A = this chain, B = another copy of it.
C-alpha cells in the first residue's frame, strides 16, 4: 500500500494523524480523513488505535510532554551571567515554539475541551523542571538583592516569556491574513520578534 516502505502502517497513521490534528484540531479531524490521507482503509485506523480518542491521546501525550519539558530546556549555561543565561532561555524557548508552532493552540483548545483528562496527563510529568526552576530562582533573587535587576518573581518572568513567544504564532496567521503578508514577510516578522521579545524582557529588568 505504501509510498514509504520503510515505515509500518501504524507509524504512517501516527504521522499523518499528527499533522492533521495539528492542522485542524480534534473535532474537525475524522478517522476517515486520516485513513484517506494515509491511503488505507478507515477501519485500519481503529484496528491499530481502537478509538479516535486513543489515537489523539497517543499523539497529544507525547507532544504535551515534549512541549512542557522543553519549556526551559537545561543547557550548559552554568558559567554565564544571569542575564545572558536568561537570553539563551528565552531564545531557545522561542525556537522550540517556532518548531512546533501549531502545538500551543492545540493544547489550549484541548484544555478547554476536556480539562480533567489533560490535568491527569500532566500529573504524570510533574516535577521535571522543578530543579531548574529552583536554581534559576536562587540566581534571580541574588540579582535582585544585589540591585542589578528590579523586583520580579520567576513566575512573572516565565509567564511573560511564554506569552510573548506563543502569541506570535497564534497571532501571525491573523495578522498575515489581515495585512496580506507573504512568506518572506512572515519570516521577517518572526526573526524580528525573536529579538524584540528578548529585548523587551531584558530591558524591563533593569532596576
Interface SS majority for chain A = helix
Chain B residue with Cβ nearest A164? B163
Contact residues in B for A107 (Cβ distance below 8 Å): 174
- Chain A residues 149 to 207 lying within 8 A of chain B, measured CB to CB, are 150, 152, 156, 159-160, 162-164, 166-168, 170-171, 173-174, 177-178, 192-193, 196, 199-201, 203-206
Contact residues in B for A1 (Cβ distance below 8 Å): none
**A115 interfacial contact with B, CB 8 Å:** yes
Given A163-B167, A167-B163, A203-B206: A112 and B105 interface contact (C-beta under 8 Å): yes
Contact residues in B for A162 (Cβ distance below 8 Å): 167, 171
A130 shortest CB reach to chain B, Å: 13
A3 shortest CB reach to chain B, Å: 27
Number of chain A residues whose Cβ lies closer than 8 Å to a Cβ of chain B: 42
Contact residues in B for A150 (Cβ distance below 8 Å): 203
A-B residue pairs, 9 tightest by C-beta: A163-B167, A204-B204, A203-B204, A27-B27, A200-B204, A119-B177, A111-B174, A167-B167, A115-B177
Binding site for B on A (CB under 8 A): 24-25, 27-28, 105, 107-109, 111-113, 115, 118-119, 122, 150, 152, 156, 159-160, 162-164, 166-168, 170-171, 173-174, 177-178, 192-193, 196, 199-201, 203-206
